[in-house]
Structure 1
């Protein structure tokens, strides 16, 4: 299969840029607070909340909402083991596709240089 076609077969739940950013950030830590993720990703509260809901429904993250000192709401997010495996697999697939495309281009360059 052509590597370009593989790009269309990537998991869209993970591949969407904001969700890929969220999952990649979460894969580097144990858990993160909502406001930290918002700052890190540059998403609005509503946008981040929407993406987190989709990721939670997909079983890729777990969200915990609680109150600190009975008054201050705090939302923490952690990546699940399924989510960690999924985002790692996604990055590996992207790298493999990229490498296949680079090799295809290198082979094309050699054919063109030899006058084929």
Structure 2
């Protein structure tokens, strides 16, 4: 909470593109992953844009990127870590508190 009693929003998740990535990955079961091209298609993002946002999420340890091979073809898998799930839950709670405060005319 800030001095005014308003909750802080996680700046790593708060960027629109990273929020979309995090929410999309949270829809998977814990421990499940999605291929980079499938995530790119799902979010309708360019490869470069998605890579940039994934790097920031990876630096915060919110996502895990795994390079693998399927039948000699390189595959990049992306999954939301436990830390990322907790961060998204905290972000969601903080956003709800913020909306409750502003919705009640207290903001």
Q: TM-score, normalised by structure 2?
A: 0.86
Whole-Å separation in 2 of the counterparts to 1:31 and 1:93: 26
2:83 corresponds to = 82
1:36 corresponds to = 38
**Partner secondary structure for residue 38 of structure 1:** helix
Unaligned stretches of 5+ in structure 2? none
> CA offsets, 1:49-70, max 9 Å, x none?
1111111111111001112111
What RMSD in Å do the two structures reach over aligned CA positions? 1.4
**Partner secondary structure for residue 43 of structure 1:** coil
In the alignment of these two chains, the number of paired residues is 100
Unaligned stretches of 5+ in structure 1? 106-116
2:59 corresponds to = 57
| CA radius of gyration, larger in | 1
Q: TM-score, normalised by structure 1?
A: 0.80
Distance apart, 1:12 and its partner CA? 1.1
Structure that is richer in helix per residue:
1
Q: 4+ runs of 1 displaced by more than 2 Å?
A: none
Distance apart, 1:42 and its partner CA? 1.4
Distance apart, 1:100 and its partner CA? 1.0
